[in-house]
Structures are given as C-alpha cells and as structure tokens.
Amino acid sequence: MSKQNANTFISRLETALSKYKLPKAQELLLVKPTREKWKTTVKCAIQQYWAEKWEIEKSDKSTMKYINIKTRPIGNPHQIWKFTSNNTLEVKKAEIKGKLITRTYTLQIDRAKFSRNVEQDMCLLCNSATEDTEHFMLECNALKTERDKHLTTLKSYVINNIGNKIFDKIVDEGLMVQFIMDSSSEKIKQIVNIKHQNIRDIENITRTLCYGLHTKRTTLLNKS
C-alpha cells in the first residue's frame, strides 16, 4: 500500500470511528477487543447513530409524521413489511401503503407543488377540496363506497378485539389517518396499547384499505 493510500485509509477509518462515536484507532491498538465483542459494539453504535438521525429527520419533516420509527430500526423492518407475506398481491398492497406513509405517493397536492402551481391541487375525482393525504384517505366522496367497505371491517375488528369505544375515540381525536397508517405509533399508544397480534391484524386490514383506495382512484382517473 502506497503512503498516500495508507494515509487515505487511516483518514477514512478515523472519520468512520468518529462518526459512530467509537473508540479511536490508537485506543483499539492498546486494548484490542475480541472479534465478537467488536462486531457487537459496532452494530450497536451504528444502530444508535441512525436511530438518532432518523428521529431528528422525523421531527423536521412533515412527510415523516405518520411513521413510527423503531428504537433500533436496523434489522427490524416496519410492520408494513414485517407482516406482509410473499404473495404478489400482498406485496403490491404493502408498496402502496409504504408510499402513503412516507408521503411518496403522488396526490394532486404534490403535482401542484412539483409543477409550481401550473397544475391545481384540487382533487380531480370530486372537485371539492385539495387532494392531500387526509382527503384521499377519509374525505373524497368519489371513494366513499370503497372506503366505507374497509372502514366497516376495521371498526368491527377494533370493537370486537380491542374495545367498543376505542374506534370512536380515535375518530374523535382526529387520529384515524394515523391509525390506518401505523397503529403502533406513540399517538395511538396514548389512547390504547394494542397487542402484537392485533397490530398484525389491523395491518392486514389497513393494507387492503389503502390498496383499495389506490385502485379505485386509478380507475376513476383513467376514465376521466
């Protein structure tokens, strides 16, 4: 290894160690950890770094408001993917919900923003309000039949398995979109602490709800 390459390697090593708040190279040479201990230390340091970074980004970005980032998210997929089978249709449903929860699903409000308001943000399906996430998920009259079908299933499940007043309380608190997107979020936990199996079942119902709204919206837009 040339002197220049050696210096570059050392510089990159020091940068990486500093980034993840790991011991300096000189300290590691003096007290050498075992291979397994070092792997564990590095893994924990990287997880901690990204957990803190994602929490900062989540607080700064409105597009992240619906997603509950786990304490140690590396190697711990979000429930959208954790509870999705290998079935092709279920994967498609999860992809749509994943786009909705991260705000990468393009609605009319996004088209207006990207076009610098050359396009209007008005919903093209009902022409009554801005098409943002809440309008799409809960309000658009053109999607009412499709929406009500799945919300009825969701409400029935919550009443029978979690509590007969919980669903109405979520609605009253204005947290229905949050509940649909991520029932494990801290905002929902302030109302009710949902068991793991219930979260799995709710995820299956809401994944189908999101996909149903998406396919209905796509069909109506293609007809217009």
Q: What is the DSSP letter of 138?
A: I
Mean pLDDT confidence for 183-187: 91
- Are 183 and 205 spatial neighbours (Cβ–Cβ below 8 Å)? no
Residue 5 has pLDDT above 70, yes or no: no
Mean pLDDT confidence for 115-142: 95
List the chain domain ranges. Answer: 3-64, 79-223
pLDDT digits (tens, 9 = 90+) for 48-70: 888 788 777 766 666 677 887 66
- Are 106 and 217 spatial neighbours (Cβ–Cβ below 8 Å)? no
Confidence of residue 29 (pLDDT cuts 50, 70, 90): confident
pLDDT digits (tens, 9 = 90+) for 35-46: 999 999 998 898
Q: What is the mean pLDDT of the chain?
A: 90
Alpha-carbon gap, residue 158 to 22, rounded angstroms: 46
Nearest to 123 by CA among 115, 110, 174, 114: 110
Could you count the other beta carbons within 10 Å of the beta carbon of residue 185?
17
- The first and second tokens of residue 117, run together, are 């308001």
Determine the angle formed by the axes of helices 88-101 and 196-223, rounding to 10 degrees: 90
**Any idea how long the chain is?**
224
pLDDT digits (tens, 9 = 90+) for 190-214: 999 999 999 999 999 999 999 999 9
What does pTM read for this prediction? 0.80
